Amino acid sequence: MAGWVGAEAWIFLSIGDAEREGQATLDGVIGAADANNHAIPTVGEFERAVGQLLGAGLITAAPDQYSLTLEGLQQYQTINSVHRGHITRYFETAKEWRSRAPSNAPAVGWSVDPTAFDQAYREYSRRASEIIRRLMKSRKKG
């Protein structure tokens, strides 16, 4: 399918990574996206990627709950069977999906409330800042 731009791989891998730690909430997916690409997706990038992934049957999505389908889980496991760094994993998957999308199915319309997205980002940021503070404090003691 033409039109896959790479953000689909970023969000797909981030949902899979966040789901490994339990329910993949929006703030969890945003945190995993930051870890995978050292960036936060925009609302538009997130909506477009989720729409493509839903259309492809690789994920399920609700406003604050995201998960891989059985087909998505199989794809995720295949991607992760190659031993490489998480950023390399993302870039290689994005490159492959841009040239050969995993599905020819059309994207599904999907939107996320920008206020909820911002709140999820702030929750992730608060949690990440707290972890960094604790790590810095423990380093000073050690």
User: The whole model's pTM is what?
Assistant: 0.91
> pLDDT tens for residues 78-122?
999 988 888 899 999 999 999 999 999 999 999 999 999 999 999
pLDDT higher than threshold 80 for residue 126: yes
Element (H, E) at 67: strand 65-68
Domain boundaries in the chain? Answer: 7-141
Alpha helices in the chain (DSSP H): 7-19, 26-37, 43-55, 70-80, 86-99, 114-141
User: Residue 121: what residue type?
Assistant: Y
pLDDT digits (tens, 9 = 90+) for 37-89: 999 999 999 999 999 999 999 999 998 999 999 999 999 999 999 888 888 99
In the predicted structure, residue 135 carries a pLDDT above the cut 80? yes
What is the token pair recorded at 33? 């996206």
Per the model's pLDDT, the better-predicted residue between 22 and 124 turns out to be: 124
